[in-house]
A and B are shown apart, each in its own frame.
Chain A
């Protein structure tokens, strides 16, 4: 955890990548660690054993997942299954 002016940075390291979240100072850090982990799990499920290249070449899909997960700075959906389902539907449209 790092503190930066009015916000905190919470990060978690996965192999060579750092996933960082910038949150308010008053927020619960441990919860966000779980949040990061859930996100990574979703990515993993979606891309089937995700690696860094997947994220680079498919950044718009990553954003799609992110849009289903967090919106306006708050959590949107906590169920992995629900998000994956929705992604499936969205993929069909593209």
Chain B
């Protein structure tokens, strides 16, 4: 006989399927069986229909598609016998869900069944309805179900009550109809009906506020009484679980009381006694007891405030925490997290237990406990807590370390009482788990270090010591390298010793050793190596004796395949070799980083790209706009380098640390230059104020040698301010040298394009300035101006400096002047070339303000003026 004819018994089919060894075999068997069933369906086979459906259900549970069997369900439900109906309803519940349209066809059958004389069939119908009915079905059949709520058989009443729950969920409008019957249900003696009634009541209250009010007024007392009876009831074998009578009923009652008591003081008062009784009397050595206590605690926390009860509740939770069962501890930790918002004081008392849980063997408990500890930290307990956590960090698992580190770092940052403690703790964390520390965390540390000027010596010595012992943690190495570079002299001189320190002697070469090992380490990544290179540069300036050795180290990376390292190596090498005079200025101490703005920036977490922040126009007092960088400059991207002091940090931190890996190559040396020599060079940029005057005096000190360089190469404008003096553009030529011979061609003034009349831009008793204009064809917005200075007096002008400022819609680019000494009485001239780009070309004319400074017989003279007579169409 064909084993797969529709005559196969269910049992045999199951056995056959289970006997299959491979998935393919199983699929084959199932396919054959489905084919047989489909054939039987087509033939409208009566006898084996229910067996076929049972088989189909089994196949469905295995995961195969079975939608062809849905109509069979309906036919079965319509048949008169109980077994067929049973299978039919089961099939309905398993194979269909509420979204299927087929469900609608069943409605009539279900209705008939709800009115059947056989109560088991009524039960079947209610069951199916309760599990799977859709909104329309619910609406149609709700009256029947209501009627059944008062049926004499308790089984039917139970089922009707639960069915109503689903109806209310699907069609909340019908809720009012159920309120009255439910009130009757709540007075039942039969536990089954009682519990279903309570559940229906709970859902009613969730769905309908009127119901909530009604039950609150009428039924709270009754419920309290019921609970009391239950708690005090004698041993009842039928409902006993672990010595407690019907814990499920307990729990459901507590839940309903919670819903009723939430937000309502009277109801809460009524419950207080019974809650206290439950909380104290229930035994907690078995899970059932604990479950009740848990529910009780939840209820206490949710209802209106009652201090004594709350303390009781939290104590119970504390007891839970010491329980051996993981489940219970987990649950307790969860609840405590919610309890903190309500009553933090009480939770603090259990701090030590919670700390123990952080060290638990179960991972989810550890996580929860750590979060809880994090919430518990405040100013008073931060020190011991952190100590505990840091101690634990040493022994914790790798995967947990990441979480733990992050939490410890944020605790330290938020609550550190004093800077030295902050630095200490951070150093410990870095030593232990530096690899897990995120970038912004150690950036913040650097900010704090730079701000704590009295602690510089201490910090750098501590870092030095730390590096001696452990050098595997990347972030530690980075921070240490940065500090040693910055404060190397403090390290060697043992400056700023604090009382708690032991004296150590560090020679210069020791310091260089340490940095060298950082570079040489195989595991150092690009950032660390770059930082180490710049640190070496700083050290070469601070420790002149080691300069030669440092140079050798730096030179080793000349051939590095990584562009960043190679570039740094080359440039720093040049600085060390050829430019000792400016080296010290380049690598002066960094200015203190602004903590507040840094913190604010971190909070708003701007993307960290150097070019964006530096790309913003440098807004200086007169609104001088950045020049449009000549294409030659872009190669170096030097002009994009200077963040104004007014910009809130931008990514100056990146610059300061000498870390910039943007593809647009950046010379770290030059980026250091503006920051390190801030006081000096920034003054160059502020034209509108007197410092400019001192500027021209002081710049010669630093750049004196540079002054002698006749700028053969004109166009480079390093410091990105249009009004740069000749001196600073000599710096540009300096930087040019760094590139070993890269010489951009000077821009030749274009002589084509429409001619514009030349103007006398400025004239005073001793000086005249004439402007000649020309434009490049095809570039109407940009004008090349050739300015000629003539000395009308009989004295020689020396140290001649010309500065100009333009409004925001213009961009100005100033080339170096032909000279800085103007012979008297017009015997010679100084020419200087300017390029102006007018973004409002055609709408607004050019305007410019001038400042000319020079010396006559050693006395400074300053002349200022405004040029308004530009030709209109420039």
* Residues of chain A at the chain B interface (Cβ within 8 Å): 1, 28-31, 33-35, 38, 56-57, 59-60, 63-64, 67, 71-82, 86, 89-90, 93-94
By the criterion CB–CB under 8 Å, are B14 and A76 in contact? no
How far is the CB of A41 from the nearest CB of chain B, in Å? 9
Cβ-neighbour of A30 out of B131, B162, B246, B287 (below 8 A): B287
17 pairs, CB–CB < 8 Å, chain A vs chain B: A29-B327, A30-B290, A30-B291, A31-B247, A31-B248, A56-B18, A60-B90, A64-B90, A71-B130, A71-B158, A72-B162, A74-B165, A74-B199, A76-B192, A76-B195, A79-B246, A94-B83
Give the contact-size bracket for chain B.
35 or more
Residues of A within 8 A of B853 (CB): none
By the criterion CB–CB under 8 Å, are A28 and B291 in contact? yes
How far is the CB of B153 from the nearest CB of chain A, in Å? 11
Are A38 and B241 CB-contacts (below 8 A) given A31-B248, A74-B199?
yes
Are A79 and B54 CB-contacts (below 8 A) given A28-B291, A73-B165?
no
How far is the CB of B169 from the nearest CB of chain A, in Å? 8
The proximity string for B residues 279-295 relative to A, scoring 1 for CB distances below 8 Å and 0 otherwise, is 00000000110110011
Cβ-neighbour of A33 out of B83, B90, B192, B291 (below 8 A): B291
Closest to A80 in B: B238
By the criterion CB–CB under 8 Å, are B166 and A72 in contact? yes
Residues of A within 8 A of B83 (CB): 93-94
B87 on interface, CB distance cutoff 8 Å? yes
How far is the CB of A76 from the nearest CB of chain B, in Å? 6
The proximity string for B residues 157-182 relative to A, scoring 1 for CB distances below 8 Å and 0 otherwise, is 01100110110000000000000000
By the criterion CB–CB under 8 Å, are B58 and A34 in contact? no
Q: A72-B130, A72-B131, A93-B120 are in contact. List 19 more A-B contacts (CB 8 A).
A: A1-B327, A28-B294, A30-B294, A30-B327, A30-B328, A34-B287, A57-B10, A60-B57, A60-B87, A63-B94, A64-B86, A67-B127, A71-B127, A75-B248, A76-B196, A77-B191, A78-B246, A80-B238, A82-B238
By the criterion CB–CB under 8 Å, are B120 and A34 in contact? no
By the criterion CB–CB under 8 Å, are A59 and B61 in contact? yes
By the criterion CB–CB under 8 Å, are A63 and B165 in contact? no
By the criterion CB–CB under 8 Å, are A79 and B239 in contact? yes
Residues of B within 8 A of A67 (CB): 127
B756 on interface, CB distance cutoff 8 Å? no
A76 to B163, CA, bound (A): 10
A25 to B707, CA, bound (A): 76
A59 to B57, CA, bound (A): 9
Closest to B14 in A: A57
How far is the CB of B52 from the nearest CB of chain A, in Å? 13
Residues of A within 8 A of B327 (CB): 1, 29-30, 33
Closest to B288 in A: A34
Cβ-neighbour of B249 out of A28, A59, A78, A90 (below 8 A): A78
Residues of B within 8 A of A64 (CB): 86, 90
Are A75 and B199 CB-contacts (below 8 A) given A31-B295, A38-B241, A93-B82?
yes
Cβ-neighbour of B120 out of A28, A74, A81, A89 (below 8 A): A89
B736 on interface, CB distance cutoff 8 Å? no
Residues of A within 8 A of B238 (CB): 79-82
Residues of A within 8 A of B10 (CB): 57
By the criterion CB–CB under 8 Å, are B162 and A71 in contact? yes
Closest to A77 in B: B192
User: Which 6 A-B pairs give the minimum distances between C-beta atoms?
Assistant: A30-B291, A72-B130, A71-B162, A72-B162, A72-B166, A77-B192
By the criterion CB–CB under 8 Å, are B120 and A90 in contact? yes
A89 to B127, CA, bound (A): 16
B575 on interface, CB distance cutoff 8 Å? no
A72 to B61, CA, bound (A): 20
Residues of A within 8 A of B155 (CB): 86
Cβ-neighbour of A76 out of B58, B90, B158, B255 (below 8 A): B158
How far is the CB of B643 from the nearest CB of chain A, in Å? 46
Residues of B within 8 A of A78 (CB): 191-192, 195, 239, 246, 248-249
Residues of B within 8 A of A30 (CB): 287, 290-291, 294, 327-328, 331
B11 on interface, CB distance cutoff 8 Å? yes
By the criterion CB–CB under 8 Å, are A60 and B54 in contact? yes
B330 on interface, CB distance cutoff 8 Å? yes
Residues of A within 8 A of B248 (CB): 31, 34-35, 75, 78
Q: Which of B349-396 contact A (CB under 8 A)?
A: none
B298 on interface, CB distance cutoff 8 Å? yes
A35 to B189, CA, bound (A): 22
Are A79 and B130 CB-contacts (below 8 A) given A34-B287, A34-B288, A86-B155?
no
By the criterion CB–CB under 8 Å, are A34 and B247 in contact? yes
Closest to A93 in B: B82
Are A31 and B251 CB-contacts (below 8 A) given A76-B192, A82-B238?
yes
B252 on interface, CB distance cutoff 8 Å? yes
How far is the CB of A63 from the nearest CB of chain B, in Å? 6
Closest to B130 in A: A72
Closest to A63 in B: B90
A64 to B127, CA, bound (A): 10
A60 to B163, CA, bound (A): 21
Residues of B within 8 A of A90 (CB): 120
By the criterion CB–CB under 8 Å, are B86 and A94 in contact? yes
By the criterion CB–CB under 8 Å, are A33 and B287 in contact? yes
Closest to B159 in A: A71
The proximity string for B residues 745-765 relative to A, scoring 1 for CB distances below 8 Å and 0 otherwise, is 000000000000000000000
How far is the CB of B23 from the nearest CB of chain A, in Å? 18
Cβ-neighbour of A72 out of B163, B241, B291 (below 8 A): B163
A62 to B54, CA, bound (A): 13
Q: Which of B282-335 contact A (CB under 8 A)?
A: 287-288, 290-291, 294-295, 298, 327-328, 330-331
Residues of A within 8 A of B195 (CB): 75-78
Closest to B158 in A: A76
Cβ-neighbour of B82 out of A29, A71, A73, A94 (below 8 A): A94
By the criterion CB–CB under 8 Å, are A56 and B14 in contact? yes
A93 to B247, CA, bound (A): 32
Cβ-neighbour of B131 out of A1, A57, A71 (below 8 A): A71
A81 to B87, CA, bound (A): 25
Closest to B121 in A: A93
How far is the CB of B242 from the nearest CB of chain A, in Å? 8
By the criterion CB–CB under 8 Å, are B192 and A82 in contact? yes
By the criterion CB–CB under 8 Å, are A75 and B166 in contact? no
The proximity string for B residues 92-129 relative to A, scoring 1 for CB distances below 8 Å and 0 otherwise, is 01100000000000000000000000001000001100
Residues of A within 8 A of B252 (CB): 75
Are A72 and B239 CB-contacts (below 8 A) given A60-B90, A78-B192?
no
The proximity string for B residues 47-81 relative to A, scoring 1 for CB distances below 8 Å and 0 otherwise, is 00000001001100100000000000000000000
A6 to B126, CA, bound (A): 28
Residues of B within 8 A of A74 (CB): 162, 165, 196, 199
Residues of A within 8 A of B86 (CB): 60, 64, 94
A82 to B195, CA, bound (A): 14
How far is the CB of B666 from the nearest CB of chain A, in Å? 47
